[in-house]
Amino acid sequence: MRTFLINLGKRLLLVLPVVWAVVTLVFLLIHIVPGDPVRNALGDNATEAQVMELKHRLGLDLPLSSQYINYWRGVLKGDLGVSLLNPSDRVAEKILSRYPATIELALAGLFVAILISVPLGVTAGTNQGKLIDNVASVIALLGISTPGFVLGPLMILLFAIKLDLLPVSGRYGPEYLILPAVTMGAALASILTRMVRSSVIEELNEDYVRTARAKGLSERQVIYKHVLKNGLIPVVTIIGLQFGVLLAGAIITEIIFSWPGIGRLTIDSINARDFPMVQGCILMIAITYIFANLITDFAYRLLDPRIRVE
Amino acid sequence: MNILGKIGLLIIAGFFIVAIFAPLIAPYDPVTQKQQPGNLPIEERLKPTLSHPFGLDDLGRDVLSRVIYGARISMQVGVMVVMISALIGIAIGSISGYYGGWVDRFFSGFLFNVFMAFPSILLAIAMVAFLGPSIRNLIIALSVIGWVGYARLMRGQVLKVREYDFVTAARAIGAGDLRILARHILPNAIQPLIVQASLGMAGAVLSEASLSFLGLGVQPPTPSWGVMLNDARSFLSVAPHLLIFPGLTVMLTVMAFNFVGDSLREMLDPKLKR
């Protein structure tokens, strides 16, 4: 337990410089805007006085170093500034109100991916080279090659318009979650299916499998009690790494299905040139990703005693 | 190379030919709008016919011609992004692996992690959002997120190869750092880099389409698969062909690059051959 805590501390220390760099990059984003971001947002009809007034209110008239310090001060207090369009909108509050919808969608996508990939991967891996294995490979390949912005509208066409089974878009009940979750999870399911398959094949060659078989366990017990336990460990790492891909995919999925999450907020704010809001969204997604990876890392250590010993 | 890899290569070659010779192959101009009789219902007006095998879009433009010209954008962006990010990645990866020490700690211990802290296309979306949408900015953004993969790979290869006797021998006869890197280490690292480039093409084509789909890449009226797919969403029930043809094209392209990448990886890594 003690080494575990030390490791935890070490990992957290390693994450700090990355968090610092991410915050700095996000802060700098508004300064790569060609021209004047405030004038951009207010449009050509705004007077010089209006532009200066808003700049002053946002602190954008200060020297860069003070702006940077102010930005950090805000981030540490959980204050990400105000919307350019509607200065009474606080960025942090707006993001937090949209955040649960995105997390719900990402977790649902993850659930779909695991639900498809584990049985499919195990079946393929234990029947290596047979027809079912090849069918699984083809499915996985199709899944990897079908981007969300093709799959999503295709499923809307099929299940919502032609068959009229599921709603087209919005977030008004559990049935609204199905199509977006499948859209999000499909690519991850394909990657995981391949992982589970090769992991199972690898573990099946291990000595302990021979031992388990020799002592008379049924093939089912061998696979579910022994092989899966070890075989799923690398899969956990991939899930953590892919969680970021899921979060990024949420942006596209939320646009397709009008899902009121942080992804749609990002794109809507980009279109409205509401730069502080965009900065806030990007920062929030990146930080979520960093912590998702951290959690995975620890889940991995807890699951695999071989790493814990070191 | 396995059969899927060969099929992939054929498809890719086909797409490159189509992209290069688009003006000769496309039956119509991709932005010219066809005058149509106004009394027909929209389904009838847009649906695929013999003279327009992929149908027309809502503005009366030929979808087949737009898909063909769209290949140009995809291949152009893909090739540029892979070249730029591979060059940056190889340079940084080599320096990091070859010199080691604090240089390596800065690059691989810090910079790589920062760039990997942003989930895939998020950083690209952020950059294009602030720089403004255009093909040039798209290429810059995708290269900025793309180089890390090459850098990590190159660093790993350099760390492995620099310990070999032939490197020591080269150094003993007085070869400089640059010569050792370029003549002795790079050729030994080239194979995994090619795999990465092939998968990188798939990623770049996909990212271009994603960003254009979000309105952050190629701007209308320039035909891009992502833009076409975004436009198609408004006409799903009356003109599904607007979704299906560009959609299948994107799938086929990404699949072909994945085929090639996978089969190259299998060729190079005997452990995967089972």
**Strand, helix or coil for residue B62:** strand
Q: Does A147 touch chain B (CB under 8 A)?
A: yes
Tell me the average pLDDT of chain B.
Answer: 85
SS3 A216: coil
Residue A110 has pLDDT above 80, yes or no: yes
Encoded amino acid at A17, one letter:
P
- Judged by DSSP in three states, A145 sits in helix
Give residue A43's pLDDT: 74
Percent of chain B topping pLDDT 70: 97
Q: Is residue A141 part of a domain?
A: yes
Whole-number pLDDT of residue B87: 94
Percent of chain A with pLDDT over 70: 97
What is the number of domains present in chain A? 1
CATH superfamily of B3-22+63-269: MetI-like (1.10.3720.10)
- Averaged over A238-259, what is the pLDDT? 84
Residue B274: per-residue pLDDT = 45
B120 vs A150: CB contact, 8 Å cut-off? no
Question: CB–CB of A74/A80 below 8 Å?
Answer: yes
| Residue A277 resides in a domain | no
Q: What is the CATH number of the domain that holds A177?
A: 1.10.3720.10
Is residue A127's pLDDT more than 50?
A: yes
Report yes or no on A229 lying in a domain: yes
pLDDT digits (tens, 9 = 90+) for B139-169: 999 998 889 989 988 998 888 888 888 888 8
Average pLDDT, chain A: 84
- Give ∠ CA B192-B196-B198 in degrees, rounded to 5: 115
The pLDDT of residue B137 is above 50:
yes
Average pLDDT in the A271-283 region? Answer: 88
Q: Report whether pLDDT(B273) > 70.
A: no
B 230-249: CB under 8 A from A: 230, 232-233, 236-237, 240, 243-244, 247
pLDDT number for residue B88: 94
> B2-46: per-residue pLDDT in tens?
888 899 999 999 999 998 998 888 787 887 777 776 677 777 777
- Chain B residues with CB under 8 Å of A128 CB are 274
Tell me whether residue A158 is in a domain: yes
pLDDT at A307: 60
Domain contains A308 = no
In a domain, A49, yes or no: no
What is the tally of helices (H) and strands (E) in chain A? 14, 0
Question: Does A253 score more than 60 pLDDT?
Answer: yes
Nearest CA in chain A to B245: A150
Higher-confidence residue of B171 and A182: namely A182
Q: Give pLDDT tens digits for B48-67.
A: 777 778 877 777 788 888 88
* A-interface mutation test, from B212, B214, B252, most A Cβ less than 10 A away: B214
Classify B132 in phi/psi space as left (phi over 0), alpha (psi -120 to 50) or beta.
left
Pure H helices in B42-100: 42-46, 63-99
- Does residue A152 form part of some domain? yes
> Which residue has better confidence, A216 or B11?
B11
Does the pLDDT at position A306 exceed 70? no
Residue A309: band (very low, low, confident or very high) from pLDDT cuts 50, 70, 90 = very low
Q: What is the pLDDT of residue B142?
A: 92
**What residue numbers bound the domain in which A137 lies?**
98-265
Q: Decide if pLDDT at A113 tops 80.
A: yes
Residue of B nearest to A146 (CA): B251
For residue range A46-78, what is the model confidence (pLDDT) as tens digits? 788 888 887 887 777 888 888 888 888 888 888
What pLDDT shows up at residue A310? 41
| Cβ-contact A33, A289 below 8 angstroms | no
pLDDT at position A301, please? Answer: 73
For the ranges A150-159, B79-88, B138-147, B164-173, the lowest mean pLDDT is seen at B164-173
List Cβ<8 Å contacts ≥24 apart for A165-168: A168/A257
What does the pLDDT read at residue A308?
Answer: 53
pLDDT in tens, B185-241: 888 888 888 888 888 888 898 899 999 999 888 888 888 999 999 988 888 888 888
Query: Do the domain assignments include residue A283?
Result: no
Residues of B in contact with A21 (CB under 8 A): 110, 114, 117
- Per-residue pLDDT at A8 exceeds 70: yes
Instruction: Say whether B120 and A275 touch across the interface (CB within 8 A).
Output: no
The two structure tokens encoding residue A28: 């700098």
CA distance A47 to chain B (A): 23
CB contact B131 to A (< 8 Å): yes
Distance CA B178, CA B181 (A): 5
Instruction: For residue A22, give the nearest of B117, B121, B127 by CB distance.
Output: B117
Of residues B125, B130, B236, nearest to A33 (C-beta): B130
Domains of chain B, residue spans: 3-22+63-269
Select from A17, A128, A246 the Cβ nearest to the Cβ of B110: A17
Give residue A269's identity as a one-letter amino acid code: S
Q: Choosing among A137, A149, A157, which should be mutated to test the B contact, i.e. which has the most B CBs within 10 A?
A: A149
The answer to whether B125 contacts A251, with C-beta atoms less than 8 Å apart, is: yes
The pLDDT value given to residue B271 = 59
